[in-house]
Amino acid sequence: MANAVSFIKAITIATAFILSGVFSGTLSGTVFADESVLSYRGDAFSLDGSTLLYTEHHQLTYRQVSSDSDKAVNEPISRITRYQDANTQEFAVKENTYRYGSATPEFNLTDTRYGYYEEVTYENDRWRASYREPTEADKGKLGKPDYTPVIDSGFDEFVRSVWPELMDGDTVRFSFAVPSRLEWVNFRLIPLKNENGTLTVEMRLSSRLLSWLLDPVKLSYDTETMRLLTYRGLTNIRDKNGEGIQAEIRYTYPD
């Protein structure tokens, strides 16, 4: 049972990193002529919708490039996400850089309330992960993923890359990097419904034997813009006891 608890804790930390991506944000503050910046926010409420728990503030930098169909697409460059409590006090910062593919950004996260830090980097042709918290720390190389590798906010870019399959109702599998386990964890992304301009998908652990460890996470996307609208489930933000918070996060974008 101890291993199960440890696994749940690790997935708690991992799942909400999935909801952090819609293109990307600059770390240095410098934006070049061919780059654009998108700023948006997420408001995390209790599951009954009565209480604002915290907010996410995303600053994203991207460039437009031509795709195979000669249609311009947004390519992520970098991002910074700041987390604030309900009293607007900042407590965590996450940085991403997209040097090795839109679905696999390097990243680091610092939560000052718990002294928690984790990162994933690419060095010498290998993905490496590390984490540090008050009671333990570890680092190591990630092995070979079973499916398409996805790291942190690269999840949102991954969703767009498999958009046709999801719109056709097909389940998609991917391997998600979990630094606190120093390994890839396999997930299924399952389309639930497509109506009124919204695509709703459900994320589950790929192993049906282990799926009981984590309640499904539900995400909804705008079918026209492919932007994330809501995330409902376990987040990476913890309460005063260090346990993951269940929340519904609602995203708003500039006109």
Q: Which residue has the higher pLDDT, 191 or 244?
A: 191
pLDDT value at residue 255: 81
Query: Is-contact 93 83, C-beta < 8 A?
Result: yes
- What are the tokens at 72? 């311009």
- Percent of the chain at pLDDT above 70? 82
CA atoms within 13 A on the CB side of 189: 27
Enter the DSSP assignment of 216.
Answer: P
pLDDT value at residue 26: 32
pLDDT value at residue 40: 97
Q: What is the pLDDT of residues 98-145, one digit of tens each?
A: 999 999 999 999 999 888 999 999 999 999 999 998 889 999 999 999
pLDDT value at residue 174: 97
When pLDDT is averaged across residues 2-29 and rounded to a whole number, the result is 45
Where helices occur in the chain by DSSP H, the ranges are: 2-15, 154-161, 163-167
Q: What is the pLDDT of residues 36-51, one digit of tens each?
A: 999 999 999 999 999 9
Residue 83, domain extent: 2-252
pLDDT value at residue 210: 59
Q: How confident is the model at residue 211 (pLDDT cuts 50, 70, 90)?
A: low
**What is the SS3 assignment for 9?**
helix
* 151/185 Cα distance (integer angstroms): 11
Pick the closest to residue 178 from 207, 155, 200, 201 (CA basis): 155
pLDDT value at residue 18: 55
pLDDT over threshold 50, residue 206: yes
pLDDT value at residue 33: 54
Q: What is the pLDDT of residues 51-76, one digit of tens each?
A: 999 999 999 999 888 766 567 778 89
How many other CB atoms sit within 10 Å of the CB of residue 5?
Answer: 10
* 200/219 Cα distance (integer angstroms): 6
Q: What is the pLDDT of residues 217-231, one digit of tens each?
A: 999 999 999 999 999
Domain count of the fold of the chain: 1
Q: Which of 17-31, 32-46, 200-214, 233-247 has the lowest mean pLDDT?
A: 17-31
Full-model pTM: 0.85
Pick the closest to residue 93 from 151, 27, 37, 35 (CA basis): 27
When pLDDT is averaged across residues 16-36 and rounded to a whole number, the result is 51
